[in-house]
Amino acid sequence: MKVLVSDNLDPVGIQMFQNADGIEVDFKPGLSPEELKKIIGNYDALAIRSATKVTADLLSTAKNLKVVGRAGIGLDNVDIPAATKHGVIVMNTPGGNVITTAEHAVAMMMSMTRNIPWGTASLKAGKWEKKNLEGRELYNKILGIIGFGKIGSIVADRARGLKMQVVIYDPFVTPEQIEKAGYTSITLDELYAKADYITVHVPKLKDTLNLLNKDAFDKMKNGVMIINCARGGIVNESDLYNAIKSGKVAGAALDVFEKEPPGASPLFELDRVICTPHLGASTQEAQVNVATAVAGQIIDYLKNGTIANAVNVPSVTGELLKKIGPFLSLADKMGSLITQLSKGPFKEIVIEYTGNFDGLDMSPVSTAVLRGLLVPVVKDDVNFVNANYIAKERGIKVTETVAAESEDFINLITVKGITSDNTFLVAGTIFGKKDPRIVRINNFRLEMHPSGHLALVHNLDKPGAIGSIGTVLGRNSINIGRMQVGQEEEGERNIILLKTDLPIPEPVLEELKALPLVKTVTLLEL
């Protein structure tokens, strides 16, 4: 079996492939997309980092490809739906570089605080500007951490060792879990108002894009310092520039940028900005860790069929996969949907299986629910292997029940998400042999294809409601591809599920919300 390594990988990983019986490896970093496309059909496995783009076009020519392994966490460069369609397993290596990234964030904070980059440059220029380079102490300062995942929790631990006061905002982790770890859970606005330093450790998602923008900076303390070693685009660079120029923000330490490489950025003209070229995961230890992990996973899969850290398939036998495959896709979408509807931390997830499941082992389907539920929150960190662990780590109790009969369907999966304040319910089934449908959202009955750009509208059940919604979308050149209407049980409202060809932009969303017969509009991506 042949493995292609198309990006730079630590020699320890290459050596592992060379030492594996029955494995032939080619190390060819720097191939152009055209060159890669010409040869990919010869390989059973592809090992990559961030440079290689695994596109739908590339996968269409990869006739023998069975697995793609990413040495690292992020999978923005892999078309996962296309890989799944072609039967290609996609693996990553979560955990290999979390300590390294956390340490880099702390190093950036300390360097900025004590003016180390400016002091170095000044001294090398023959100057002695001691009075102009007065810094701060970190002791007893308030560090606001946005995101309490693996990296954020390590940063919190290191900051506690520095005797800083640590406050945490993470809408998907219960305050009880944060407080159990020994930190203070606060709202985002409270964090803005209190923190002397703010560091972000969240994935780049629709809800986190431009999270730190002008409105956020306006709410912060004067003299706050910003650290971003997560993903470019979470901090709005233009708004950060203005906040530093005005004196609101005293300094920024950036390892990631909206565009990479960023080229000539106005931020680089400011004295109070330090930056590194996405070095968060760049240590010898991290590179060895991820190279060893990806090589071991690919070898184990090719030789033994063992699946580890896969993001698009659970670890099950091929025979069981044929039987439950459609339910896996449905469950994943249901989990994602319930997270997007709730916008808050779950205390418990109840998964109910009713109908004719013929004694099947449905535990992989439950795992798919949890993966779908967690991906909008932690993105690439979660897969079919660790979804249950991450749910437990976040304090989510998972309960499964099975009943023999379903009133309306041959088989039905119902997921209830319980928060401190509410319970959210999503139910789904399979039409025919493999066509997934969402058939209930809370008290509304409907028939929904769970895919694409969606808008969930609650409106008063009165004439003109649907027409007014269509008028707004039409006026803004947004085509409705599909519409489903459901009625509230014993109520006066409708639920309208719209599938649009394009995502609905923020100004159009606000226009819809302002319609007199519309109560709420929630945008969903599945």
Q: Active-site positions?
A: 231, 260, 278
CA distances from 282 to 11, 72, 98 (A): 15, 11, 11
341 within 8 A of 424, measured Cβ to Cβ: yes
Q: Angle CA(173)–CA(278)–CA(16) in degrees, nearest 5?
A: 90
Question: In Å, how far from its chain's centre is CA 274?
Answer: 26
Distance CA 324, CA 152 (A): 36
Distance CA 196, CA 194 (A): 7
CA distances from 363 to 100, 182, 386, 393, 401 (A): 34, 33, 13, 19, 11
Pairing of strands 444-448, 397-403: unpaired
Helix (H) or strand (E) holding 389: helix 387-393
358 within 8 A of 337, measured Cβ to Cβ: no
List of E strands, 164-248? 165-169, 184-185, 197-200, 224-228
Distance CA 208, CA 274 (A): 23
- The count of other CB atoms within 10 Å of the CB of residue 281 is 23
**Contacts for 471 with CB less than 8 Å, ≥ 6 apart:** none
Closest listed residue to residue 354, CA positions, set 435, 429, 438, 433: 429
- Tokens representing residue 453 in the block: 């750009």
Helix (H) or strand (E) holding 498: strand 493-500
The torsion angles phi and psi of 73, rounded to 5 degrees, stand at: -95, -55
| Structure-token match 């004067």, residue found | 222
